């Protein structure tokens, strides 16, 4: 959060969340605590985007944005349009330039980098991508949500900056991000909603730091975990993977309600975060097809631990969902995809 980076005093709850998460991480230095779950091809849980306003999961209604809604409400769409209008090619200093770049980055843990690196390969080869868009995978294996906020554990941001330099781009050119976070061994953080609340707090702190470091970061697209019913360890099994979607929803809700620690509107004061939106929702109940698009997760889609996506199938599946999202979603297509006129003219 903004308080975290500025040195201001956190509230008791904010400090408790961060302290508990960080203490749990240090205590888990030898590996995540908890018994290994029994792998299963279906949990019986209902995808959040399939739940209605009347459905309930531990008191929470359905829809990515709540109230059964899977698309941004009107006010959020207006805010997104404002931010999209500011996403233009920029030079190394962040000034608008027809010869500049639009940098899309990722932040998160091992699953995130595995999925986003494959997405980058697909997108870089896709003729529909605007040539000004530069994709940089900033996510890193072993860097869970705690490690992005605590330099005493690990400075994920140094590696992040190294990757920007390797891509010949600057922080000032970064304008959009895909962020997918999780905590190692979430069972030690408490049952729902406690672990999800702490993940939300860590996510907010990451976004505050990101906006501070990247002043032109306008949009952050958030995704929760893929299916983890096949997990054979306590690294991040079900139902924690499923429940991480509520961390995303609560974070977006808090920003929409005017939380100053997540403010993206300069008319309301200091900007402390990019605008938050759902990216692609990746969870489906194993081999049970998701109603919205038929998405399933077979055992071969996951690596040996049942937690990470497999190279041949799982990573490909998420990468394809990401590419479709940025090419077609109203919040991604305007700046990511080439205009129809350019395509028709055969522009590079």
Query: What average pLDDT does range 205-220 have in this prediction?
Result: 98
Mean per-residue pLDDT over the chain, rounded: 91
Residue 51 · residue 68 · CB < 8 Å? yes
pLDDT of 159 over the 90 cut: yes
For 2-7+67-338, which CATH class?
Answer: alpha beta
Closest CA to 175 of 208, 145, 216, 146: 216
Share of the chain above pLDDT 70, in %: 86
Question: What residues have CB less than 8 Å from 94, skipping those under 6 apart?
Answer: 170, 172, 173, 215, 216
pLDDT tens track for 271-306: 999 999 999 999 999 999 999 999 999 999 999 999
Instruction: Dig out the tokens for 1 from the structure.
Output: 């959060």
What token pair was written down for 257? 């309600």
The phi-psi region of residue 108 (left if phi > 0; otherwise alpha if psi is between -120 and 50; otherwise beta) is left
The token duo for 86 is 């500011």
Confidence of residue 50 (pLDDT cuts 50, 70, 90): very high
CA 66 centroid distance within chain: 18
Candidate from 61-65, 178-182, 338-342 with smallest mean pLDDT: 338-342
Q: Is the dihedral of CA 180, 183, 187, 193 positive or negative?
A: negative
Sign of the four-CA dihedral 259, 263, 264, 265: positive
Phi, psi angle pair for 73, to nearest 5° = -65, 165
């Amino acid at each position: 959060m903004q308080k975290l980076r500025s040195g201001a005093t956190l509230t008791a709850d904010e400090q408790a969340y961060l302290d508990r998460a960080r203490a749990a991480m240090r205590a888990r230095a030898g590996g995540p605590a908890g018994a290994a779950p029994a792998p299963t091809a279906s949990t019986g849980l209902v995808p959040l985007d399939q739940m209605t306003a009347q459905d309930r999961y531990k008191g929470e209604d359905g829809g990515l944005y709540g109230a059964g809604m899977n698309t941004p409400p009107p006010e959020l769409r207006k805010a997104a349009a404002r931010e999209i209008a500011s996403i233009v090619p920029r030079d190394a200093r962040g000034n608008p330039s027809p010869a500049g770049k639009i940098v899309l980055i990722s932040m998160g843990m091992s699953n995130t980098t595995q999925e986003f690196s494959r997405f980058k390969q697909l997108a870089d080869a896709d003729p529909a991508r605007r040539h000004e868009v530069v994709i940089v995978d900033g996510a890193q294996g072993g860097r869970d949500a705690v490690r992005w906020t605590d330099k005493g554990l690990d400075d994920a941001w140094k590696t992040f900056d190294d990757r920007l330099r390797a891509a010949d781009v600057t922080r000032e050119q970064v304008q959009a991000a895909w962020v997918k976070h999780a905590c190692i061994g979430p069972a030690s953080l408490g049952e729902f909603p406690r672990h999800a609340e702490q993940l939300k707090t860590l996510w907010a702190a990451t976004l505050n730091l990101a906006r501070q470091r990247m002043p032109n970061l306008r949009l952050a697209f958030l995704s929760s975990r893929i299916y983890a019913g096949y997990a054979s360890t306590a690294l991040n099994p079900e139902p924690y993977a499923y429940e991480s979607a509520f961390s995303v929803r609560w974070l977006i809700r808090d920003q929409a309600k005017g939380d100053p620690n997540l403010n993206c509107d300069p008319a309301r004061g200091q900007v402390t975060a990019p605008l938050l939106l759902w990216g692609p929702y990746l969870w489906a109940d194993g081999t049970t097809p998701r109603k919205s698009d038929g998405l399933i997760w077979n055992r071969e889609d996951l690596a040996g631990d049942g937690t990470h996506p497999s190279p041949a199938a799982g990573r490909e599946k998420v990468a394809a969902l990401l590419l479709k999202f940025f090419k077609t979603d109203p919040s991604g297509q305007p700046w990511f995809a080439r205009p129809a006129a350019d395509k028709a003219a055969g522009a590079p």
